[in-house]
Chains A and B, each alone.
Chain A
């Protein structure tokens, strides 16, 4: 379904932009340059994270942890292979991108667990990082109900991701 929408989205964006007299080629090139810079900026973190994860996986430590937590997750409809992603996603964007890549490599991007992992990644934020950054910037010490509400939202989103992947 989504892959049918992409050409439509592209055509609609382009038609709308031309109608608004946007210099589309220049705008695209500017955005592409920013995208390249973004990829370049996560490279050092990928090189830091992926070897650590590969080692944990090769030794079976990651599998053991998944065995431990899987029953609770599976009761909620979440496949056990998304567990490493669920553990890293709230903490770091680049680390979870690395975990997503490993997960997709193992279970296959078009499989049900692969789709749930992708949906999880796209529908959530780095909860703890965001809270720490913004609270620190505002000089606020007590977050009151922001932390529990943000975590509940993240959890509801994860369960919703598993269900949504079953429907579509």
Chain B
């Protein structure tokens, strides 16, 4: 991250020197930078409202037992996807909790459980190579499985959208496609690497 930011910043300053639009005038660069910094604070304030509101609803859902319901619903499909893992064991439970929290958009709750799951799965790793189960778990985590894109709806509302939630169905569809492609690739590539 720090390299990405440093490169962006250096490139920005470098181009400002060369670009005729800012005319190498040091004043306009300062102007652009401070204006953007102020915009960032204003944006954060507007976002905070949406984050808080949708976070509130997710918490209500969580307290109604949505996590337990999701865990029960996920049990059978997960046992299929992870044939080598006992879904009622410690690693299996951590994986289920991580995926259910991710689906609800509780990223802060999901990450520690995902790390725990990876550490437990890592006990079966040979020669520092990820097992099939680890690869599958990684790919599902790296492709989004979030069901309700609250923060995106907040950004759209902050940008003055007429229909902030109009992206709900396309988002669900794209999420489903990306996770399905990830799982399929995992199954195919795992088979390939075992025979090869």
Does any Cβ of B come within 8 Å of A68's Cβ?
Answer: no
A69 within 8 Å of B by Cβ? no
User: Does residue B103 face the partner (Cβ distance < 8 Å to A)?
Assistant: no
Total residues of chain A contacting the partner, CB 8 A: 97
Is the pair B139, A42 in contact by a Cβ cutoff of 8 Å? no
Decide if the interface of chain A is mainly helix, strand, loop or mixed. helix
A157 touches B178 (CB 8 A): yes
The answer to whether B163 touches A145, judged by C-beta atoms less than 8 angstroms apart, is no
How many angstroms between the C-alpha atoms of A17 and B58 in the bound complex? 11
CA distance A50 to B35 in the complex (A): 10
Are A22 and B130 in contact (CB-based, < 8 A)? no
C-alpha spacing A20/B64, complex, angstroms: 6
Is the pair B185, A153 in contact by a Cβ cutoff of 8 Å? Answer: yes
Measured in the bound complex, the distance between the Cα atoms of B108 and A1 in whole Å is 29
Q: Is the CB of A110 within 8 A of B166?
A: yes
Of the candidates B65, B155, B174, B192, which one forms a contact with A20 in the assembled complex, judged by CB atoms under 8 Å apart?
A: B65
B85 at the interface (CB under 8 A from A): no
CB contact between A39 and one of B9, B11, B47 (< 8 Å): that residue: B47
In the complex, the chain A residue whose C-beta lies closest to that of B19 is: A59
Contacting residues of chain B (92-151) with chain A, CB-CB under 8 angstroms: 108, 111, 114-115, 118-119, 121-122, 125, 127-130, 134-135, 137-139, 141-144, 146, 148-149, 151
Q: Is B160 an interface residue (CB 8 A)?
A: yes
Which residues of chain A have C-beta atoms less than 8 A from B163's C-beta? 2-3, 110
Hey, which chain A residues are within 8 Å of B36, CB to CB?
Answer: 50-51, 53-55
Give chain B residues whose Cβ lies under 8 Å from the Cβ of A52.
Answer: 5, 8-9, 12
DSSP majority for the B interface? Answer: helix
A157 touches B64 (CB 8 A): no
B10 to chain A, nearest CB (A): 9
Report the minimal beta-carbon distance from B165 to chain A, rounded to whole angstroms. 4
For the complex, what is the distance from the CA of A156 to the CA of B59, rounded to whole Å? 31
Complex: chain B residue closest to A145, CB-CB:
B189
Contacts of A27 in B (CB 8 A): 56, 59-60, 62-63
Closest to B181 in A: A156
A45-63 with Cβ < 8 A to chain B: 46-56, 58-61
A58 to B: closest C-beta gap in Å: 5
- Given A95-B4, A118-B149, A153-B181, 12 further pairs, Cβ under 8 A: A31-B56, A35-B50, A35-B51, A54-B35, A59-B22, A109-B159, A109-B161, A149-B135, A149-B185, A152-B181, A154-B178, A161-B170
A residues contacting B by CB (< 8 A) are: 1-3, 5-6, 9-10, 13-14, 16-17, 20, 22-24, 27-36, 38-40, 42-43, 46-56, 58-61, 91-92, 95, 97-98, 100-101, 104-105, 109-110, 114-115, 118-125, 127, 130-131, 133-135, 137-146, 148-150, 152-154, 156-158, 160-161, 164-165, 167-168
What are 17 of the A-B contact pairs (CB < 8 Å)?
A20-B64, A20-B65, A38-B51, A49-B8, A61-B11, A119-B171, A123-B144, A145-B185, A145-B186, A146-B130, A153-B143, A157-B178, A157-B181, A158-B174, A161-B171, A164-B174, A167-B173
10 closest A-B pairs by beta carbon, nearest first, are: A31-B59, A157-B178, A35-B55, A2-B168, A153-B182, A122-B149, A55-B12, A145-B189, A109-B161, A164-B170
